[in-house]
Structure 1
Amino acid sequence: MKTILVHSGGMDSTVLLYHLLDAGVEVRALSIDYGQRHKKELDLAKSVCEKLGVEHRIADLTALAPLLAGSSLTSDDIEVPDGHYAEGNMKVTVVPNRNMILLAVATGWAISTKSDTVSYAAHSGDHAIYPDCREEFAAGMDHVMQLADWQVVKLDRPFVAMTKADVAKRGAELGVPFDETWSCYKGLDLHCGRCGTCVERREAFHLAGVIDPTPYADTAPTVDEMIANDWRI
């Protein structure tokens, strides 16, 4: 089995990288530079792949950034909000059509390398504020990907029935170096510990009973403070 892994350098896709390798899958990893402010994730994706001896490519799609405006991840004039993903203001972190773009590029590489699948680390906790995380979207992409070429490439989502806490547990079982992954959207030197993806990351470790090795900024609330505020900051 050969796959192209969409590898952001984040917690979920890094666990999936280890998971696929553990299953004996031949993996090539693809990261996408779409002009995101948190580019540090790309450096960490490259570093982890080098250590594992996995072929890794970064597709430079920065020219698309002006076309993907209106998101706090691609527009510097829009602030990344603090708080839990359950809050409506997190919609400003939606990058227009991001997953379709990422999966389309990965599918092209899969066809050229005669890979069987494109893998990405969608899990059951991916929030409804992201339209391209819906089951209907994934099913549609899987169908279209199989029609894109005479060689059939399918969409693989091994974690789709798992929570993010389950992903954290699986990563701990596989010895994933979580401190070498990146989640924070704010593009700082350390995880802010306050934005939606940081809160989700911290919540996952807490619920999984896994030690969180992530260095957070001094302004980050404690886990107890987050729990007291129903994970909202």
Structure 2
Amino acid sequence: MTEKVVVIYSGGMDSFTVLNRAQKDGKQVFALSFNYGQRHVKELQCASTVCNGLGINHKVIDISAINQLFAGSSLTDDIDIPEGHYEADSMKSTLVPNRNMILLSLAVAYAVSVGAEQVYYGAHSGDHAIYPDCRPEFVEKMNDVCKIANYESVEIFSPYLTVNKTAILADGIAMGLDYSNTWTCYNGRDKACGKCGACQERLEAFFENNITDPIPYE
């Protein structure tokens, strides 16, 4: 029997690679996306397009009602998205309080309900400097909790936890993936801004892999 896994799929390039990695590894994928009131909701449109094309079971869950608890993040509040490199102190404004713990908890509940043994998510080393909920120690502790939180043990799996976005993209290129249906920019406009930390890190990854990013930029 094919092993079932739940993939937290934002619609960005990292989770897109994770999604395809899980499928190419022979897993039966259940993709789970969340609308938590993020201004870059366009990523969810990309997620739906990709899952429809791959024939993957996909749920988009609206949890935007809890946005009123996420004060102070430029991703959910009326605060300007900072520009500049991802490691700059200003990028801390993009931290959504406790986001990954909440999303992982919901994904684990879904995994239990469909009989999946793992939850995949796309934390990577490029996030470690800014986001505490993408660091190895967080993943390790969440994994410990999720193994005992239910009668069924669920593993938290981050296949790219110790590598950066450049390496993630390299793996995607090796898999022959098309990144035109992914969205990384923190702004929710028609085209990517090219200036926010997320865009800059994405553009660096494409540059370092000697290929052109297929999405349009302002």
Q: When the two structures are superposed, what TM-score results if normalisation uses the length of structure 1?
A: 0.90
Q: Counterpart of 2:211? A: 210
Counterpart CA distance in 2 for 1:124 and 1:82 is: 20
Q: Counterpart of 1:8? A: 10
Counterpart CA distance in 1 for 2:65 and 2:135 is: 27
1:197 aligns to 2:207 (yes or no): no
Q: In the alignment, is the contact (CA less than 8 A) between 1:3 and 1:28 conserved in 2?
A: yes
The 4+ residue runs of structure 1 with deviation greater than 4 A are none
1:55 paired residue among 57, 66, 75 = 57
The worse-fitting range, judged by mean Cα deviation, of 167-176 and 51-60 is: 167-176
Q: In the alignment, is the contact (CA less than 8 A) between 2:136 and 2:161 conserved in 1?
A: no
Q: Counterpart of 2:180? A: 179
One-letter amino acid of the counterpart of residue 35, structure 1? G
Q: Counterpart of 2:68? A: 66
Counterpart CA distance in 2 for 1:28 and 1:45 is: 12
Instruction: Say which SS state the counterpart of residue 125 (structure 1) adopts.
Output: helix
Within 5 A, what are the aligned runs for 1:120-135?
A: 120-135=121-136
Q: Which runs of 5+ in 2 are unaligned?
A: none
Instruction: Say which SS state the counterpart of residue 153 (structure 2) adopts.
Output: coil
Q: In the alignment, is the contact (CA less than 8 A) between 1:85 and 1:127 conserved in 2?
A: no
Instruction: Say which SS state the counterpart of residue 147 (structure 1) adopts.
Output: coil
Counterpart CA distance in 1 for 2:14 and 2:181 is: 12
Q: In the alignment, is the contact (CA less than 8 A) between 1:168 and 1:210 conserved in 2?
A: no
Q: In the alignment, is the contact (CA less than 8 A) between 1:185 and 1:195 conserved in 2?
A: yes
Q: Counterpart of 2:36? A: 34
1:163-208 Cα shifts (integer Å, max 9, x gaps) = 2111111111222221110000011110000001000000111112
Q: In the alignment, is the contact (CA less than 8 A) between 1:86 and 1:127 conserved in 2?
A: no
Counterpart CA distance in 2 for 1:80 and 1:126 is: 17
Instruction: Say which SS state the counterpart of residue 111 (structure 2) adopts.
Output: helix
Counterpart CA distance in 2 for 1:138 and 1:23 is: 21
Q: When the two structures are superposed, what TM-score results if normalisation uses the length of structure 2?
A: 0.97
Q: Counterpart of 1:147? A: 148
1:21 paired residue among 15, 20, 23 = 23
One-letter amino acid of the counterpart of residue 148, structure 1? A
The worse-fitting range, judged by mean Cα deviation, of 182-191 and 204-213 is: 204-213
* Equivalent residues, number: 216
Q: Which runs of 5+ in 1 are unaligned?
A: 218-233
1:38-74 Cα shifts (integer Å, max 9, x gaps) = 0000111011000000000011101001111110000
Percent identity of equivalent pairs: 47
Instruction: Say which SS state the counterpart of residue 59 (structure 2) adopts.
Output: strand
The worse-fitting range, judged by mean Cα deviation, of 30-39 and 201-210 is: 201-210
